[in-house]
A and B are shown apart, each in its own frame.
Chain A
Amino acid sequence: MAVIRDVIPAFELFQPASIEDAQSLLARYGPEGWVLAGGLDTFDWLADRIKRPTAVVDLGQIKGLSGVRVVDGGLEIGAMTTLTEVVQHPVVREKYRLLAEAAEAAASPQIRNQGTIGGNVSQDARCWYYRAGWPCYRAGGNICYADTPKGLNREHAILDADRCVAVNPSDTAPALIALDAKMVIRTPKEERVVDAEDYFIGPATDITRMTVLQPGDLLTAIRIPSTWAGAQFYFEKVRDRNVWDFALVNVASATKVSGSAIGDVRLVVNGVAAHPVRLKAVEAAVTGKPRNEATAELAGQLAVQGAQPLQHNGYKVPLMTNLVKRAIRGVAGEAA
């Protein structure tokens, strides 16, 4: 029976029971190996036949990688915990509602039952030239197809581009940076812990990767310290379709109010650069100021300084300005 199907090319599937076994498989197969978490990023690449790994290493059978644990006043979330579990966890909802809102904004209800938080923060760029297999900078080539006079770049970067203009698509990433989360990484040699802020990298650091993970490294857990527990939070995501779509721009903020002034704040935007952007200059400028319209205006203007829109994404500049203003203002719908 001749059937033309959009099938995934053959690969060998491994379901190791430990991190060590997973890493030895990844070492054995090198660039022919592929790490599978929830599968949302993976099967898109594989069904389109752009990536054709020989061996797929499914992390789903490794015990201890899934679940939310309360530790040292904070939380430790296993990398394979589904987004639905994160959204529904009572402590996440009570103390770190910013993360619950961000995770709930990701994808669709069915996908949140499958997709993991580790996959959400480690997913690859969604630039369609790159996803369609064009030999661009990010794919190891020497051109960016999106940043040309006729390139379609409505969804692309306005900040920190360097040859590649793709953006980071994660919704949980800005929330985790705002909460000062720590990423627990198992390298083949050791365990190391990296601030969420430093987990994500731009093209200037390595144009082929989105995170500090080197081949063979695995993200095993995300720790959320108690520092920002119960703070006032704001999360908002703007997208074309209100479900499933990736963010055009999203914003996450955590604010501690002292009297009528902003005592301390962390403010992060995603969808505007190849990595989530923590707006430290804005944080510094608004700290100590009253939480009012004038401060929000200042924050919004300062946030987009240095923005360099492409031909079709100029709208992202006022969009980011307004999302930052709302995050600083903390209007109705605020996560707090």
Chain B
Amino acid sequence: MATQPVEAQKTAHIRIDLNGEMTDVSFAPYKTLLEVLREDLGHTGTKHGCELGECGACAVILDGKPVLSCLVLAQECDGRKVVTIEGLTADGQLHPLQEAFGDHGGSQCGYCTPGMIVTAKALLDQNPNPTHEQIREALSGNLCRCTGYLQIFDAVENAIVEISKRNAAAK
């Protein structure tokens, strides 16, 4: 099987809701969601880290919950809803979490940032007003070797304030 040309190995096929768009993709059945997102769909925002579940760099939101895309087969996602970092921007506007990470130094080398932001997004979707402790707990599976985490927590807390301001203004 491994000696076959790449195209001939694309025997698996799924249709997923990727960032709000129905998306069809064919790929080799042993590929992880991370590999299909990056290699077959060109969505390279999601990062490839440890492959052990230790680092959280590959986190995406699957049916509303943050999961590690390096530890899910793409085939397991057929018919499901996937949100990646590319899906947070709307109408050319950054998501408040993305802005806050930039404004508050929550991102330095940037490698952990997509995983951090989508995990924080999943938290805020479930719980728009988490405590500091709940933010720490939600992000505890994401490693960052640059920031020391404090700026990341600051960024999330500032994004919460910004989101509630925007919601109030929209009413």
Contact = CB atoms under 8 A, between A and B. Distances in A.
Q: Which of A6, A36, A108, A244 has the most CB of B within 10 A?
A: A108
B73 A9 contact: no
Contacts of B76: 39, 58, 60
A111 B53 contact: yes
Contact of B56 (A6, A44, A47, A110): A110
Query: Could you tell me the dominant secondary structure of chain A's interface residues?
Result: mixed
Interface residues of B, number: 32
Given A6-B51, A47-B51, A110-B59, A39 B72 contact: yes
B159 interface: no
Interface string B14-53: 0000000000000011111001000000000000000111
Nearest to A14: B29
A178 B46 CA distance: 41
Interface size class of chain A, counting residues whose CB lies under 8 Å from the partner chain:
20 to 34
Given A110-B67, A110-B68, A111-B68, A13 B53 contact: no
A242 B65 CA distance: 21
B151 interface: no
Contacts of B62: 113
Interface string A226-262: 0000000000000000111000000000000000000
Q: Which of B65, B66, B73 has the most CB of A within 10 A?
A: B73
Nearest to B1: A10
A292 interface: no
A10 B2 contact: yes
Interface of A: 6-13, 15, 36, 39-40, 43-44, 47, 56, 58, 60, 84, 107-111, 113-114, 242-244
Given A110-B119, A113-B65, 20 more contacts: A8-B30, A8-B31, A9-B2, A10-B9, A10-B28, A13-B12, A13-B30, A13-B75, A15-B75, A40-B53, A43-B32, A47-B51, A58-B75, A108-B141, A110-B53, A110-B59, A110-B66, A110-B67, A110-B141, A114-B68
